[in-house]
Structures are given as C-alpha cells and as structure tokens.
Amino acid sequence: MIVRLCQALSQTVREADLTELAVTFIPQALSIRFASLWLADDTDATQLRLAGSSAPLSLPAHLALETVPSSTAEVDVLTLPFNWPEGVAWRAVVRLRNGSQLIGVCLLGDKIREGVFSDKDVRVLRTLAGGLATRAANLNHLDRERRLLLALADKEDNVRRLIAAELHDEGITQLSVVRRMVESRRKPEIIMAGLERVIQNIRVLSRKHLEPVGLEQGFLAALEAFIEQTGALNSQIQLCVNVPETLPHLSATADRELFFITQEAVTNAVKYSNASLIQINIRLHSASLELTISDNGQGFDPAPLLTGRETRGLGIMQARASRLQASLAVTSIVSQGTTVVVDLPEA
C-alpha cells in the first residue's frame, strides 16, 4: 500500500493531484474518515490555505502551527482532537517541512473502524510526509515560475498597448492632420513640416519602446549605446565596463534578454544604491557566459523580493533568465553593495 501511495505521489505535478492524494487516497488506504491539505501561502509563509481551493480560506495560525505546541514531529496523533471548524474533529497532524520551514499540513480525521491510529499508520504517514513536502515545495516553485512568466508577458503586453496608443495618437492622428492639409491644398512647406513631425514622432516611439538602440547588432552594441546614455545622465556615478571585444554567437532572444536584465540591474543601482561605481563584466568560460552587474552602494535584502510574490523588476529579471535557461543570482551586502550574476550556459 505504501508503495502504491509513493508511486502516486511521484506522479503528482499539479496541486489538484497532490490534494486528491492527500484527501482521498491516503484516507482510503489508511481507513481514515476524512482529511484536508493546507499549503503555505507563498507570499506569507505563516499563512496556510486550503489546497485545491482558490478561496482565501486560511487555517487559523494557532491551529496549524501550535496545535501541539513545541512539537517538531512530522506526525502527531492527538489525544484530544481539535475541532475546527465547528463539527469537525481532527485527530492527527502531518507536518510538511522543507528544511526547517513549514510549508503545509495534512489534517486527518478519526479512523473508521479501530478508532485509533496504529504505530504502523504513523510510520506510513511519516514516510509520506517527506514525499508530500517535496512535492508541495516543487509546486510552490513551479507556481512562482509561472507567475513570473505571466508578469513578464503582462509587461510586454502593456508595452504593446502603449505602443498601439502612441502610434494612434502620434502617428495616425498626426497623419490625418497632414492629409487634411493636402486636401485643403496648403503650402508644400507646411505639409512637409507636418510630415517631418510625424516621422520624428514615429522615430522616437520606435527608439523608446520597440528596440533599444543597437540591439539589431547584438547585445554588446546595445550595451555600449545604453552605457553612453546612462553615463551621460548620471555624472556622479562611474560606470566601468569590462567586456570582451566579441561574444560567441547569441540568439536574438539571448541578446534581448541579457540587455533587459542589464538595463534593469543598472537602473536599480542608479535609482536605489547611492553607489559611486557600477561595474558590468562579461566573462567567457568554456561552456558558458557570465554577466555580472555590481555596485558599491548601500545594499538591500533581495531574498523576499526573489522568493515572494514580487513581480517587479527583480522577479522579471529572473523570469528573463529562466527564459534563456540561465541562472540569475542577486547577492547584496549592506553598506558594501549589490551583485547580479547571470550564468548563461552553452553560450
């Protein structure tokens, strides 16, 4: 029976599968009346929510975490069941831990026949607890990846909408004005001036939103243009760039994503770090390219932003890296500065 449950466990890839296993298969296999699975909310690890439900129903923290105060056991059979919500009596708690962090609990009702949990039941549950915890942690990870990719798509969608709006206002509307000038036979100089204005508008639009300058020639060219621009805007910060003269051939996607990661990291350093120096380094290894953006500023704690629900710059930077199957690490030391390292394999 334990083998079958472990097999089923190894096949769970969605929260719904894990929930079915916990609330249907495990109770069936162990003759338990009912069960429920609660998983940590990945925005707030102290909150547990009912798995398989989108309702924001949270298990009161004192029930999940302190039902059996000071217990560090994976499985606790309670001598006194706790009742929550009214009318439901929970008889055992299976804690799911990822390292020292509690990432979920499976609550079990009474046994159907014997009335008490046997030592064997507890052993089986203890074995399953590890597997359930690993699967639940993976779900969290997958969920976060999915969310970040959605945020990235969202950001790109917003840019598309912005471009559509600006094309309408700065392009089409202005062109209609020029058409009216032609229809009313205005002087050629006036019509030419109107056309020039439209061309200029569209040029700005294309630079601003569509392609960073130089990107059509690759990451290094775009980087050079960006550094020039950023350097000119911030005379107090020294920008130091140490990159090879040429890079191995990169796909257009890699050129783009590396550029936008660098742009975000440098922009963050300029905006928040109070640094006097920002360094951008690229090192080529035998099977990878390592891009580092570091500053010597005040530093910050990136952990909550990289592991929480955050879908701002840092999270999106990470989604861009995963799109390239690259790894991205942000380390920061207070008063010493921040370093972002991207490791792109097989570049």
Ligand X SMILES: Nc1ncnc2c1ncn2[C@@H]1O[C@H](COP(=O)(O)OP(=O)(O)OP(=O)(O)O)[C@@H](O)[C@H]1O
Residues contributing to the site for ligand X (CB under 6 A): 268-269, 272-273, 295, 297-298, 300, 305, 312-314, 338
Residue among 40 and 314 whose Cβ is closer to ligand X: 314
Which of ligand X, Mg ion, none does 67 bind, CB closer than 5 to 8 A by kind? none
Nearer to Mg ion, 27 or 313 (CB): 313
The 3-state secondary structure of 112-174 reads CCCCCCCHHHHHHHHHHHHHHHHHHHHHHHHHHHHHHHHHHHHHHHHHHHHHHHHHHHHHHHH
CA nearest 57: which of 66, 67, 48? 48
Q: What residues make contact with Mg ion under the rule CB under 5 A?
A: 268, 313
Q: Are the CB atoms for 326 and 282 separated by under 8 Å?
A: no
Partner from ligand X, Mg ion, none binding residue 295, C-beta < 5-8 Å depending on class? ligand X
Tell me which DSSP letter residue 178 carries. H
Question: Considering the complex, what minimum distance in angstroms separates the CB of residue 152 from ligand X?
Answer: 12
Q: Does residue 42 contact residue 143 with C-beta atoms inside 8 Å? A: yes
Residue 42 touches which of ligand X, Mg ion, none (Cβ within 5-8 Å per kind) = none
Residue 334 CB, nearest approach to ligand X (Å): 10
Pull the structure tokens for residue 34.
């009912």
Are the CB atoms for 275 and 269 separated by under 8 Å? Answer: yes
In angstroms, the CA 109 to CA 115 distance is 10
Closest separation in Å from C-beta 223 to ligand X = 18
**Residue 75 or 319 with smaller CB distance to ligand X:** 319
Closest separation in Å from C-beta 255 to ligand X: 21
Cα-based distances in Å from 160 to 153, 172, 173, 205: 10, 16, 18, 12
Distances (CA, A) of 9 to 19, 25, 89, 101, 123: 10, 10, 26, 21, 16
Selection from Mg ion, ligand X, none that 214 binds (CB < 5 to 8 A by kind) is none
Kindly report the three-state secondary structure assignment for every residue of 185-223. Answer: CCCHHHHHHHHHHHHHHHHHHHHHHHCCCCHHHCHHHHH
Nearer Cβ to ligand X (33/161): 161
CB closer to Mg ion, 120 vs 312: 312
Q: Binding partner of residue 297 among ligand X, Mg ion, none, CB under 5 to 8 Å per kind? A: ligand X
Shortest Cβ 111–Mg ion spacing (Å): 54
- 300 touches which of Mg ion, ligand X, none (CB within 5 to 8 A by kind)? ligand X
> In the block, which residue shows the tokens 């299976």?
94
Q: Give me the least distance between CB of 268 and ligand X, in Å please.
A: 3
CB of 256 to ligand X, least distance (A): 17
Report the residue number, 39 or 275, with the smaller CB distance to Mg ion. 275
338, interface contact from Mg ion, ligand X, none, CB < 5-8 Å by kind: ligand X
